[in-house]
A and B are shown apart, each in its own frame.
Chain A
Amino acid sequence: MVQIDQQAELARAGANIEGRWDAIVHFSKNFPLAVTGIVIVIVFVVMALFAELIASHDPVQTNSALSLGAPSADNIMGNDMMGRDMFARIVHGSRISLIVGVASTLLGGAIGVFIGLMSGYLLGWFDLIMQRIIDIMQALPLLVLALVMAASLGPSLENTIIAISIPLVPRVARVVRSSTLALREMPFVEAARAAGMVEMRVAIRHVLPNTLAPLIVLATAQLGAAILVEASLSFLGLGVPEPHPSWGRMLSENAAEYARVAPWLVIFPGLAISLVVFGTNLLGDALRDILDPRQRG
């Protein structure tokens, strides 16, 4: 016979929780990876919000005397070829990385939601045309499409955001469309329609909120991808231009030539990219487990 320890089971389910702090401790015991992810993401968000306060140096101020300076008490991550403080550049870089990541995820998500909701709800010719357009967009790997888009729009912060957001549209549209298809047959949608609601209002007020859970899960996953694509585009010289400090560009400027003499120029920007993406990925996994338990694994 299997023995069941009732107290332990109750504690695991969170029966004896008192106060907010207890709840946080309980949550972190149940979802250790999720909490790690949340902490990492918060650290980067704080860095982006208070970059000026955290980094005492100016990220674009050059100083030839400090060119390729090794990490020291004053410049804890060393200096790049032009003597700019790497720590300040990394801290300010989080701003660019997060702005591009979040903005392109939101923009791509919004377009995807619109297309998905409309094609799943209206069907007919609109759906037919949109499905074909999405087929076309999915015929290229994300980075290749983003690369061509970035090159044709020209280098700027806004254009990089647009170039990354468009390749993110198809998956959002697909997910929203398939949940809309299932939802539009549900009794509560029928009831709303029978009550005389305008179709558009039914779609937005009743169908859309019910597609949110899978959408949030997908968006967090895409946030990590968007940050990586920005880094890759900037690495290839087609992303965010000077004077914005972009982690990806720091790697391409510094990489080949100075890897030998100044390894800190390669290590820190890469570490920053990996950590922030790792954090969002952990968060994405946790959100999936919480919001969509069927997919839990």
Chain B
Amino acid sequence: MATYLVKRFLLMLLTLIGMSIIIFVLLRMMPGNIVDIMFDSAGFVDPTEKAEIEKELGLDRPIPVQYMDWIIGLLKWDLGFSYVSEMPAVDELGPRIPITAKLAVMALGFSVLFGVPLGVISAVKQDTALDYTLRVISLSGLSLPSFWLALLILMASLALFGDIPIYTDPPENLWDELLLYTIPAAAVGFRSSALIMRLTRSSMLEVLRQDYIRTARSKGASENSVNYSHALKNAFLPVTTIIGIEAAFLIGGLIITETVFNIPGVAHFLVEAILMRDYPIVQNLVMLIALIVVTVNFIVDLTYGALDPRIKYGE
């Protein structure tokens, strides 16, 4: 177990280092930098002034030097300054992270709450009208672009209530905040719930075909006992994986939803920063996302071992 943990930890570190190099190079490959974009809006370019600003931001130095600078800064918890606002990146990201985190938690809660029970029902009632309906709903969940769903919700609420629930001022209390985030969270969570539902269904069906289920049935166990206490426990294993992966991947859906609902979270901020070539913001944010993904994967692997004693680490 200890060797496994050390090995996994080193692999995670390697992945993160690789990611930092790739993201750093990709950012520098982008056509134009912050200075070009600043001059673009001004309408004219003064080469000496441009060189001066680039020098001030350190963009004139060789890329490996810039990279080492960033990594050394990271180790000292110095994330650099945003090019756009000239504020420390920590101060820019700090207040935005909780917003996105709350949205993600709500969306994940929503998707598990709906996805798991509906998936079980769909499996237990396989090939009935109910199963078909649920399958079509879950497939549409995977097919609707989340931004369109969000736009439709906005339009519907405009038609029904004459008002759109987008973010304008920071919410005053927790209740207002929850209310404000419910719709965006549901718009994002719909996709994950569809995914979780499909996986729960197929994993449940897989388990229901196994011998020990037949044994339980032949011993006279009730249908409910077979489905919920014998089967669900084992069917839940692959579902935990997908819940974990979705927890990390929700950020993709949130990028779009935060943009549509005008929510000042990190996901929306990432797009803004990419468009402005605000390197310090983008590279630190991408590293944060990668860190979350690898950590979640690691936790999922460990949960797997805890849930299923047959799985052993270290071999």
Contacts and interface: CB of A to CB of B under 8 A. Distances in A.
Interface of A: 33, 132-133, 135-136, 138-144, 147-149, 151-154, 224, 228, 231-232, 235-238, 248, 251, 255, 259-260, 263, 266-267, 269-270, 273-275, 277-278, 281-282, 285, 295, 297
A255 B151 contact: yes
Interface in B152-172: 152, 154-155, 158
A251 B256 CA distance: 12
15 contacts: A132-B11, A132-B14, A132-B15, A133-B18, A143-B256, A148-B286, A151-B275, A224-B142, A236-B271, A248-B145, A270-B152, A274-B140, A275-B143, A277-B142, A278-B139
B143 to A, nearest CB: 4
B103 to A, nearest CB: 15
Binding site of A, secondary structure by majority: helix, strand, loop or mixed? helix
Given A136-B18, A266-B152, A142 B252 contact: yes
Given A139-B16, A140-B286, A141-B251, A148 B144 contact: no
B205 interface: yes
Contacts of B23: 148
A141 B26 contact: no
Interface of B: 11, 14-16, 18-19, 22-23, 26-27, 29-31, 123, 132, 135-136, 139-140, 142-145, 147-148, 151-152, 154-155, 158, 201-202, 205-206, 248-249, 251-253, 255-256, 259-260, 270-271, 274-275, 282, 286, 289-290, 293-294
A134 B103 CA distance: 29
Contacts of B31: 154
A251 B140 CA distance: 19
B201 to A, nearest CB: 6
B248 A141 contact: yes
Given A139-B293, A152-B30, A236-B259, A274 B145 contact: yes
B135 A295 contact: no
Contacts of A232: 145, 147, 255-256
A221 B126 CA distance: 22
B63 to A, nearest CB: 13
Contacts of B290: 139-140
A288 B52 CA distance: 59
A138 B11 CA distance: 13
Contact of B15 (A136, A142, A147, A224): A136
A236 B26 contact: no
Contact of B289 (A136, A140, A269, A270): A140
A147 to B, nearest CB: 7
Contact of B158 (A143, A260, A277): A260
A193 to B, nearest CB: 29
A295 B209 CA distance: 12
Q: Pick the most buried of B31, B206, B260, B274: most chain A CB atoms within 10 A of its CB.
A: B274
A140 B290 CA distance: 6
Given A147-B271, A224-B142, A232-B145, A251 B151 contact: yes
